[in-house]
Amino acid sequence: MSFSINIASYNVLSPYFAVKWGEKTGLNQKGLSVSKKILRESTESKTLENWKTYSNWNQRIKKIAHNIELADIVCLQEITPRTIIDILKICQKYSVAGVAYHPNPSQNICYGNAIVFNPKKAHLLQSFEI
């Protein structure tokens, strides 16, 4: 008896860090038109949500979700508690097998890695959060 399973690895590119470091892939038109200094300052602002002005996350999440759904098990890099929620809202047939976050003490922004899977294709024996 044989079976097949598709496993993928995907760097989500945290929207916060995409803006902070001026990564073009994570910027909207407004973000692409300002300096890296302005982008960095938006992430250091007392208004913690100010960086969202420059992020293309709301458009990029749809493409990310489509790519995730091409595999049965996906190892995700650069996720945050918010991005994993956003991903699972679109990829509703997927569940989290595990997640580990690395805190960033300077901004209280945490990011990390997660494994998501399609329960119709893989049976989870144990999950974890670190």
Q: Considering the domain boundaries, does residue 35 fall inside one? A: yes
Per-residue confidence (pLDDT) for residue 48, from 0 to 100: 66
Q: Considering the domain boundaries, does residue 78 fall inside one? A: yes
Per-residue confidence (pLDDT) for residue 8, from 0 to 100: 95
User: Structural domain of residue 17, as residue ranges?
Assistant: 7-129
Q: Considering the domain boundaries, does residue 62 fall inside one? A: yes
Q: Considering the domain boundaries, does residue 2 fall inside one? A: no
Q: Considering the domain boundaries, does residue 1 fall inside one? A: no
Total count of domains within the chain: 1
Q: In which order are the strands placed within the sheet that holds 7-11? A: 7-11, 73-79, 109-117, 95-104, 128-129
Q: Considering the domain boundaries, does residue 80 fall inside one? A: yes
Q: Considering the domain boundaries, does residue 100 fall inside one? A: yes
Q: Considering the domain boundaries, does residue 121 fall inside one? A: yes
In sequence order, the 6+-apart residues with CB closer than 8 A to the CB of 48 are: 107
What is the mean pLDDT, run by run of 10 residues, along the chain of 130 residues? 87 93 96 94 79 94 95 95 95 94 71 93 77
Residue reference for tokens 């893989």: 122
